[in-house]
């Protein structure tokens, strides 16, 4: 399994929780106590907010730079004046909801530039596309190895 650390594992668990509790695609639900529809846009915003937590500026600026349209506008932006369907993210950022799945996939591929593993990005891609990620959850042994590696990396970081 290519999940790098316990943070990536947490993102997997959050996506799986959504998968297990959400209504069918395009149906109304409550997400963190707020009404929402189970759509690609909602799923994308949900996981991007989790990934960006505590570092919204860095995360969304990077994705904004790599999701520019031909007219110079970006699909992730703080400027909603040009957007047809602005969908709120965190920290005053928005995502243009009027995008194709291929465009969403293009944006998601840049998550590796934030240091996320290609394996996690593939899982996020499946999640946004409405595919099950249940088969991607590490086994108990793999989860223990991920935790062990995360603890070791943290200790090395503390030693420097």
Which pLDDT does position 34 carry in this prediction?
Answer: 78
User: Considering the entire predicted model, what is its pTM?
Assistant: 0.90
Residue 76 phi/psi, 5° resolution?
-120, 115
Describe the chain by its helix, strand, coil percentages, rounded to 5.
Answer: 55, 10, 35
User: Domain spans of the chain?
Assistant: 6-159
pLDDT band at 62 (very low <50, low <70, confident <90, very high): very high
Model confidence pLDDT, tens digit, residues 87-107: 999 999 999 999 999 999 999
What is the pLDDT at residue 141?
92
Q: What is the pLDDT of residue 52?
A: 98
16 alpha carbon, distance to own chain's centre: 12
Return the sign of the alpha-carbon dihedral for residues 152, 63, 12, 91: positive
Instruction: Tell me phi and psi for residue 157, to 5 degrees.
Output: -65, -40
Look over the chain and give the mean of its residue pLDDT values, rounded to a whole number. 92
Q: CA 148 to CA 37: how far, in whole Å?
A: 37
- Residue 34's SS3 state is strand
Residue 160 above 80 pLDDT? no
User: What is the average pLDDT across 75-90?
Assistant: 96
If you classify domain 6-159 with CATH, what class do you get? mainly alpha
- Please check whether residue 149 is in contact with residue 5, taking contact to mean a CB–CB distance below 8 angstroms: yes
In this predicted structure, what is the pLDDT of residue 2? 86
Cβ–Cβ < 8 Å for 126, 136:
yes
pLDDT exceeds cutoff 80 at 113: yes
For residue range 37-55, what is the model confidence (pLDDT) as tens digits?
899 999 999 999 999 999 9
* pLDDT-derived band at 68, boundaries 50, 70, 90: very high
* Residues 121 and 127: beta-carbon distance below 8 Å: no
**Structure-token match 């937590």, residue found:** 53
Where b means 16+ CB within 10 Å and e means fewer, 110-122 reads: bbeeeebbebbbe
- Decide if pLDDT at 1 tops 70: no
Residue 28: the pLDDT is 83
At residue 156, the pLDDT reads 84
């Amino acid at each position: 399994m290519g999940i790098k650390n316990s943070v990536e594992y947490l993102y997997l668990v959050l996506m799986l929780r959504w998968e297990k509790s959400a209504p069918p695609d395009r149906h109304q639900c409550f997400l963190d106590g707020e009404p929402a529809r189970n759509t690609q846009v909602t799923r994308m915003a949900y996981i991007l907010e989790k990934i960006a937590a505590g570092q919204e500026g860095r995360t969304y600026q990077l994705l904004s730079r790599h999701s520019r349209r031909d007219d110079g506008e970006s699909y992730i932006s703080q400027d909603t004046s040009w957007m047809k369907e602005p969908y709120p993210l965190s920290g005053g950022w928005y995502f243009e909801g009027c995008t194709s799945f291929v465009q969403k996939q293009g944006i998601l591929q840049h998550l590796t530039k934030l240091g996320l593993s290609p394996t996690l990005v593939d899982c996020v891609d499946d999640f946004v596309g409405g595919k099950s990620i249940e088969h991607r959850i590490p086994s108990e042994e793999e989860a223990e190895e991920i935790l062990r590696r995360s603890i070791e990396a943290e200790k090395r970081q503390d030693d420097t």
